[in-house]
Chain A
Amino acid sequence: MSTLTSDRVVPLDGSVSPGKDRLGGKADGIVRMRRLGLRVPSAFTIPVTECRRYHESGGRLDEETWQAVLDGLRWLERETGRRLGDPSAPLLVSVRSGAPVSMPGMMDTVLNLGITDEVEQALAGLSGDPDFARDTHTRFCAQFGKVVLGADVEDPRPGADADSLRAEVAEDSGREVPREPLDQLREAINAVFASWRSRRAITYRKHWGISDEGGTAVTVQAMVFGNLGEASGTGVFFTRDPLTGAPDPYGEWLPGGQGEDVVSGTHAVQTLADLAAQLPDVHAELLEAGRVLERENGDVQDIEFTVERGQLFLLQTRSAKRSPSAAVRTAVDFAEANLVDRATALQRVTPEQVASVLQPRLAPGAAEATEVLAHGEPACPGVAAGVAVGDSEAAEAAAGEGRAVILVRPTTSPEDISGMIAARAVVTELGGSTSHAAVVTRALGRPCVVGVGTGVTAGWSGRTVTIDATKGIVYAGRLPTEAVRAEDDPALSRLLEWAREASPVQVVEEMPEGSVDLDAAGVGLDPSAPPEPQHVVGLLTGASCARGVVIATPAGAGAVLEAGVPAVAAAPGQHPLVLLLHLLHAGSQRRATSAGDGA
C-alpha cells in the first residue's frame, strides 16, 4: 500500500484507481495490469495536474513537486530493494510521457536513468558482461542527448564509450548529459512537461480539437534486466499465431537478453517451447497472463516480458498486429468465445484485409517444374501474370487496350507512376523493400518484387511472366491461379453470415427494376478524382438498388446509406463480404459522427 502523503506523486501499486485523465495512458495501463494481479516493474507517476502547475509557473518544476518525486523515488527504492546511483545495488529507471490521449510531439521515453561510471562498473560485475554495461551507458547518453537535450547524434557504434558520446552531445547541443542520477531524473521530467508545448504537439491538438489546458503525466518505472543472474531473459509473446490466427501461443525467447533496451544480434532467439523447457513455471504464468489480458482487452495480445532471476515481469501489452487471414480468424474466434460481440468482430476486420485473403493464389503444384526467371525481395504481396513491358508509356498504352502487363524497370522514378498504376505487377532490378518503387506499389496494392539484380530482366520484354510477389519469385509463362472462395473457409463464411445479418443494406446477385448503375453513369471510375459524396447521394436517392466500383470506398458506401438504398449488387471483382464490410464500417462512421455532433 502507498505510504506517500502528497497527491503530487501516485505510486502505481494497484491501490490506486485507474484513470487516464489524471494518470495518463501509460500509467493507467500499468495500474490496470496490477489490478489484474499481474506483475509489472514498480513505478510511480507524476500526474497531469503537475504539468499544468509546471506551465503556470512559467516552465519550472515546483519545489514541492520535486520533493514529492524524491518521496516517490524512496518508495520505489524500498519496493525494489535497490537505490538510484548506488553501485552495491543499483536502481535504473525509465522516464516516459503519458498524456490522456497520446500525441505526436511529446517527449517519449528515456531508459536507464541513474547510470554513472560507478554504476556501469557495478553492472559489469553483476552481469559478468562489461560490454553490456558499457553499451547501456553509451546508449543512455545518446538517448538522453537526443530526446532531452535535442542533440542530433547518431546511434552509438558498438564499443564506443560513454565519454565520447557525452562529448558528441555537448558539441552538438551545447549542453551536458548530467552525471548525477538526480539531475538526470529532474531534467528528464522537465523535458516531458516542456514537450507538452512543443510546436508539433500544439499543431496536433489544434487539428484534433484537443484542449491546450490538459497536460501530460510523467511515469518513472524501475528497469528490469533479463541478463542479471541465472534464470533470466527477455521475450515477446503473441497470445495467438499472428500469421494464421490459430489459438497457439507464439513468440520469441532470448535467455540472457536484456529486456526493453535490447541490442540486436547478441543472443540466439529461441521459441516459447524452449522457455517452457527451461522455466516451466514462468511459461505457465506467462500463458495465464495472456488469457487474463485477452479476456480483459477482448483482443489478441502482443506482450513484452522480461524474466529476472526466475521472476516474470510484464513490460507492455497491446493488441497484436496480424496478417489479413489471422485478422479474419481471430475476429470470428473471439466472437464465438463470447469475448466480443459480433458487431465488434465485424468492425475489427477491414474490407482490405478480406480482399487480400480472397486474392487469387498460385494453384498448388503449379510452380513445380516451371522455369524461375528471377528471385528478388517481396515488396508488396500478391500474384499476377501478364506480358512484361520495359517502359511506363508502353505499359499504359497496352493496359489501355485491356492487356495485362507487368512493368519491369531497372529502378522507378516519379514518371513511372502512371505505368505502375496501369500494370498488374511491378519488378525492379535494383532496390530493396524500402525503395521508392516498394513504397509506391504498397500504396497502390500492386504485387511487386524488387532487387532481382542488374541486367537480370534483359530480354523479358514481350514475354509472358507470372509474379509471386509474396515469395519474391518471377516465373516464365502464365501459371494457373485459383480463387479463394469464402465458402471454403469456415471463418470467412461465418463472417459473411454475420455481415449479412447485421447490414441494413442487402447484397443481391441481380440488379432489379429501378437500379442505378454508377459505373454505367461514369461515376467514381477514376480513383484519383473521387466524386462529390452529395452528387452520388443525389443519383442514388429513390433507387431500389445500386452498383459500382465506387461503393467499395468509404465515401461510396456512406452515400448508399445516406440515400437509403435498400440493396447493392456486386460489380465485377467485388466480393459481397467486401461490400458488406464497407457498408457496416460506413454505418459506424456515420453513427460516430452524429454522436460527435450531438455532444
Chain B
Amino acid sequence: MADLRLLALHGLAVKSAATPDAVADLLGQSPEDVQQALEAAVAEGHAIGAKGRFMVTPGGRAWLDESYPQAFAAHRDDPGFTTAADKFERINRDLLALLTDWQSIPAGGERVPNTHTDPDYDRAILDRLGDLHDRAAKVLQRFTAAEPRLEAYVGRLDAAYDRALAGEADYVSGVRVDSYHVAWHELHEDLLRMLGRTREE
C-alpha cells in the first residue's frame, strides 16, 4: 500500500475541497494521521488549507500524476486487478442507467422526473440496485484483497443501499448525503487515478 503522504493527497484529489475527517473516512485512516499528512502537503506546496478544509494545488496534482505509476505499479501490473476494473466499468454503465431510471421515467416518448409517488416503481428499481450491489460485491472483493483501504467504500455502499431499502430515497442518487452514487462515483475516481485511466464519460 502506498504511503500516507501520497494517499492523503490522493484522497483529497478524489474528494476535492474537504476536511481531514472527510479524507480520513474516504481512506479508512485515522483523522489525526491524515491531518498531519495534509499539513505536510501544505508545507510542500502540494495543498492549500483554508477554514479547516484543504485543496490540492496544481503543483500537488503534477506530483500526484508523477507518483501514481510507481505507487500503484503492483495494481497496474496485476491482471486480476485490471480485469476487475474492466468489470467495474461494465457495472458502472448499468448503475448509471439504473440511476437514470430512478430519477426520470419514460412517459409518452419523453422522460419526466420521478416524483417517487409510485412505490411499486421505486421498489422495482431498488430490487435492481440490490442485484447490481450483489454483482459489484464480487468485483469489490477483488479490489479490497489487493488494496484493503477500499473496504471503506464497501462499507459506505452497504450503508447507502440499506438506507435506500429502508425508504430514504435520497440515499440512491442524492448529492447532499453519502448516497450510493456519491460513494460509487468516488470509488470510480479512486480506481481511475490508481490505474492511470481516463474517464469515458
Contacts and interface: CB of A to CB of B under 8 A. Distances in A.
Interface of A: 102-106, 108, 152, 200, 203-204, 207-208, 238, 241-243, 250, 318-324, 326-327, 348, 350, 352-353, 356, 392-393, 411, 413-418, 421, 430-440, 442-444, 527-528
A521 to B, nearest CB: 21
Contacts of B188: 436
B120 interface: yes
Given A105-B130, A439-B100, A442-B104, A208 B15 contact: no
Contacts of B189: 413-415
Interface residues of B, number: 52
B191 to A, nearest CB: 12
Contact of B162 (A152, A203, A430, A434): A203
A350 B17 CA distance: 34
Contacts of B126: 104
Contacts of A430: 199-201
Interface in B157-201: 162, 165-167, 173-176, 179, 181-182, 185-186, 188-189, 199-201
Nearest to A252: B109
Contact of B107 (A105, A323, A431): A323
A356 B113 contact: yes
Given A243-B107, A433-B100, A443-B175, A414 B17 contact: no
Residue with the highest number of chain B CB atoms closer than 10 Å, among A104, A200, A353: A104
Contacts of A204: 165
Contact of B55 (A393, A433, A443, A528): A393
Contact of A435 (B113, B127, B174, B201): B201
B130 A104 contact: yes
Given A152-B135, A414-B189, A443-B103, A421 B110 contact: no
A208 B113 CA distance: 25
Contact of B100 (A207, A411, A434): A434
Contact of A203 (B106, B123, B165): B165
A432 B175 CA distance: 19
Counting from the closest, the 7 A-B pairs by CB-CB distance are A415-B16, A431-B201, A242-B108, A104-B127, A207-B166, A321-B107, A435-B201
19 contacts: A102-B120, A104-B123, A105-B127, A200-B127, A204-B165, A207-B167, A208-B166, A242-B112, A250-B108, A322-B108, A323-B110, A348-B117, A413-B199, A414-B16, A414-B182, A414-B189, A432-B201, A436-B96, A442-B100
A243 B108 contact: yes
B113 A438 contact: no
A17 B127 CA distance: 30
Contacts of B100: 433-434, 438-439, 442
Interface in B78-135: 93, 96-97, 99-100, 103-113, 115, 117-121, 123-124, 126-127, 130, 135
B13 interface: yes
B165 A434 contact: no
Nearest to B18: A415
B199 A103 contact: no
A424 to B, nearest CB: 16
Given A104-B130, A242-B108, A431-B201, A418 B176 contact: no
B123 A434 contact: no
A350 B200 contact: no
Interface in B47-91: 55
A527 B176 contact: yes
Nearest to B133: A200
Given A320-B107, A437-B201, 13 more contacts: A105-B130, A106-B127, A152-B135, A200-B130, A242-B108, A243-B110, A353-B115, A415-B16, A433-B100, A434-B99, A435-B96, A436-B185, A443-B173
B14 interface: yes
A368 B64 CA distance: 48
A321 B24 CA distance: 43
A411 B188 CA distance: 13
Contacts of B13: 415
A151 to B, nearest CB: 13
A418 B16 contact: yes
Nearest to A152: B135
Given A104-B123, A324-B113, A527-B176, A319 B118 contact: yes
B115 A104 contact: no
A444 B175 contact: yes
A353 B121 CA distance: 18
Contacts of A416: 16
A26 B166 CA distance: 23
Nearest to A349: B115
A322 B107 contact: yes
B34 to A, nearest CB: 17
A432 B13 CA distance: 25
A323 B100 CA distance: 16
A433 B110 CA distance: 12
A528 B16 CA distance: 16
Nearest to A528: B176
Given A207-B166, A434-B99, A528-B176, A321 B106 contact: yes
Nearest to B92: A436
B7 to A, nearest CB: 16
Contacts of B174: 443
Given A104-B130, A243-B108, A414-B15, A439 B113 contact: no
Nearest to A450: B201
A439 B173 contact: yes
A250 B110 CA distance: 13
B165 A207 contact: yes
Residue with the highest number of chain B CB atoms closer than 10 Å, among A207, A250, A392, A434: A434
B178 to A, nearest CB: 11
